[in-house]
Chain A
């Protein structure tokens, strides 16, 4: 994985001192809260309902054992002994004191981490495929391109006061595991006609109150023009994105209002202009980064067999492990969704244990997934049982990847000052209600947002739940048929909303209809797509 050189380290060290100075000026009263707000946001520091929240960047979701260990230590030292992994593949701490925030950044800098641009109207942390480097279907590891974007976008002088936040995802396989087309820019690294690598650009996707699937605006950008093209996309947005209404300020609205053709025309004109400015890093820089993502030293003479005699282990393997490109290895997802737990939360002890297990079993590397779980990407099959035993003992052996208990949920009204309704208790109740049936139900991605901003990705859930405020009480709308990935679709609202217990009943009814109606190997989503909304409405409201 990527290692800082002296330039990268100097950059985060200087940032720590800058933020320390900004906090001092705020506490001294030299700057107002209005002036401080964008500064602290660009360091990931939010003022929430009860305390400050700090969001730490995990670039493209990849971190080392030492970094994960440090995250656990920070949870103990500055928070209440736990942290929350997010849908941006980052981690958030919910109980932070303003005057300690600079010290946390200093602790992070010691392990090559930071909170730069994890919030604010700037280019955010770039997300990627959690199986990068392990997936059999990728044309290349997408993370070097994400690292190139990380460096280009860090303190980009033109793009730190954009109309709104800006999120980029990079993938390199046909199977999209990063919800790429629901990003402001989605990049897919592809092979061109002569086998050379290049980048397909999708621009203008997003969730929020106006969900949109990003259209393809450029089929193939050569790698020696990659950053230049991204800069052109951003410049057109910074110049013409709406600033009169924050709900219409994302790039998806600009692309929608201009139309894909006109937006693309403007980008191409800007691109032509920028090509003369020599802003593209040389390919040698991409090669330097790529060398750091080279495959670890996989053993070549391993057996591809697994001893499945322990039924609990076999169930976990079937649910939580996926094929690795190298025989004898397997990619493992550690579920952070125990039945009745808080989705994405991990204790400091669990983080340190995962760090140690990564060092022992997976070349000292972990990934955070956008579904709020942790991946050990390169585990030897002959060591898998020992790994599972260690995880299971620590409460990390839940066998529910992509099942109904593997719920994505935002922090909701328990923490967030923007929320209209609580998400966590709803996730806990649904998880408990359907736990006994989840293996029978099979793949069912359930996603909960506590407000229309859609941090819980409810539009993209096979079942989505949106919490709203209805005359002062929490109310939950149900959506069906959303999906991320190559066949991205947006969920449709079933009808009138439900109260907290009612939404749990409604989800159960929807799953019962599915179980009684499914044909062959259909997943919930397939059945919904075949039979449509009407039978579900009948079951829910009839």
Chain B
């Protein structure tokens, strides 16, 4: 299994690898689970309180289902580690951070300089997502409450 190369959290990492969604259902004490692209993220919602790590696998970088899975989990209030694993490339990690991922274990390690440049690239964003960044429309209209 690939090493965690970047982690944007202060808590202690979970040592155990995530179990599959199928075996997670049977193992009521597991704190880590691994989602494949075809798995339904919402199946995990009843168990979020005891989960400390959710790995989302990208077997191929072009399969973008994991972005939706990540946002759905964050929208439902999941606060544990959300780790992107598999075919994770430097030009994807900016989008992944925005969708709520806070750890990355790419199959092929990324160039750290390129990765930092990718994460710092855009000073502002057009739309809210799962990372709490304030969208441009809210900055344009500071007078609008809740905007």
Residues of A within 8 A of B (CB): 5, 7, 10-11, 14, 17-18, 21-22, 25, 30-31, 35, 38-39, 121, 151-152, 154-163, 227, 235, 238-239, 243, 273, 277-279, 281-282, 284-285, 288
Is A285 a contact of B65 with CB atoms below 8 Å?
no
Number of chain B interface residues as a range: 35 or more
Shortest A257–chain B CB gap in Å is: 16
Closest Cβ of chain A to B40, distance in Å, is: 8
Q: Considering only CB atoms, which chain A residue lies closest to B40 in the complex? A: A239
The reply to whether B65 and A282 contact each other, CB–CB distance below 8 Å, is no
Shortest distance from the beta carbon of B97 to any chain A beta carbon, whole Å: 8
Contact for A288 among B89, B140, B147, CB less than 8 A? B140
> Complex Cα distance A93/B111, Å?
33
- In the complex, what distance in Å separates the CA atom of A22 from the CA atom of B68? 25
A155 to B111, CA, bound (A): 22
Cβ of B123 and Cβ of A285 under 8 Å apart? no
Interface residue from B96, B99, B123, B136 paired with A151 (Cβ < 8 Å): B136
Distance in Å: Cβ of B145 to nearest Cβ of chain A: 9
Cα distance, A318 to B121, chains bound together (Å): 52
Name B58's closest neighbour in chain A (CB-CB): A161
Flag the segment in B2-10, B14-22, B25-33, B124-132 that touches A.
B124-132
CA distance A243 to B38 in the complex (A): 10
* A7, B122: Cβ atoms closer than 8 Å: no
B117 in the interface (beta carbon within 8 A): yes
- Contact A39:B91 (CB < 8 A) given known A152-B126, A158-B67: yes
Residues from chain B with Cβ under 8 Å of A14 in the complex: 121-123
Q: Kindly list chain B residues whose C-beta atoms are within 8 Å of the C-beta of A156.
A: 126-127
Contact in complex: A281, B62 (CB < 8 Å): no
Q: Contact flags (1/0) for B38-75 with A, using CB distance below 8 Å?
A: 00000000000000000000000111110110010001
CB of A10 within 8 A of CB of B124, answer: yes
B98 on the interface (CB 8 Å rule)? yes
A236 to chain B, nearest CB (A): 9
User: Contacts of B75 on A, CB cut-off 8 Å?
Assistant: 273, 277
Known: A22-B91, A158-B71, A277-B75. A7 touches B62 (CB 8 A): no
Cβ contact within 8 Å between B136 and A38 = no
B-side contacts of A282, CB under 8 Å = 137-138, 141, 144, 147
B111 CB to closest chain A CB (Å) equals 7
Judge whether B139 and A7 touch: CB under 8 Å: yes
List 23 A–B pairs whose Cβ atoms lie within 8 Å, in order of A's numbering.
A17-B121, A18-B118, A18-B121, A30-B111, A35-B61, A152-B126, A154-B126, A157-B95, A158-B67, A158-B68, A158-B71, A160-B64, A160-B67, A161-B64, A238-B64, A243-B63, A279-B128, A281-B135, A281-B147, A282-B138, A284-B141, A284-B144, A285-B137
In the docked arrangement, what's the CA distance between A262 and B123, Å? 40
Give the CA-CA distance A278 to B121 in the complex, in Å: 25
A238 and B126 contact, Cβ closer than 8 Å, known pairs A35-B89, A284-B141, A284-B144: no
Chain A residues with CB under 8 Å of B98's CB are 157
Task: Report the Cα distance A38→B92, complex, angstroms.
Answer: 11
Flag if A11 contacts B124 (CB, 8 Å).
yes
Residues of chain A with a CB closer than 8 A to B147's CB = 281-282, 284
Taking a contact as CB atoms under 8 Å apart, the answer to whether A238 and B141 are in contact is: no
Write out the residue numbers on chain A whose beta carbons fall within 8 Å of the beta carbon of B135.
281
Write the nearest CB–CB distance from A271 to chain B, whole angstroms.
13
Closest chain B CB from A259 CB (angstroms): 20
**B117 nearest in chain A by CB position:** A21
Q: Select one of B63, B129, B141 contacting A157, CB under 8 A.
A: B129
Which residues on the A side are within 8 Å of B64 (C-beta)?
121, 158-163, 238
The answer to whether B126 touches A151 (Cβ under 8 A) is yes
Known: A157-B94, A160-B64. 10 other contacts (CB 8 A): A25-B114, A30-B114, A35-B91, A121-B62, A155-B122, A156-B127, A238-B67, A239-B65, A239-B68, A281-B147
Q: Which residues of chain A have C-beta atoms less than 8 A from B67's C-beta?
A: 157-161, 238
**B141 partner residues in chain A, CB cutoff 8 A:** 282, 284-285, 288
* Residue of B67, B117, B127 with most chain A CB atoms under a 10 A cut-off: B127
Contact present for A278 and B128 (CB under 8 Å): yes
Q: Which residues of B contact A39 (CB under 8 A)?
A: 91
- By a CB distance below 8 angstroms, the chain B residues around A163 are 64
Tell me how far the C-beta of A262 lies from the nearest C-beta in chain B, rounded to whole angstroms: 16
Asked whether, in the complex, the Cβ of A161 is within 8 Å of the Cβ of B124, the reply is: no
- CA distance in complex: A227, B126 (Å): 12
* A163 to B37 alpha-carbon distance, docked (Å): 12
| 10 nearest A-B pairs in the assembled complex, by CB-CB distance | A161-B64, A157-B98, A157-B95, A281-B137, A282-B144, A285-B137, A7-B136, A158-B67, A282-B147, A151-B126
B122 adjacent to A279 (CB under 8 Å)? no
Which residues from chain B contact A18 at a C-beta distance below 8 Å? 118, 121
Closest to B125 in A: A155
Residue of A nearest to B145 (CB): A282
> Shortest Cβ distance from A253 into chain B, in angstroms?
16
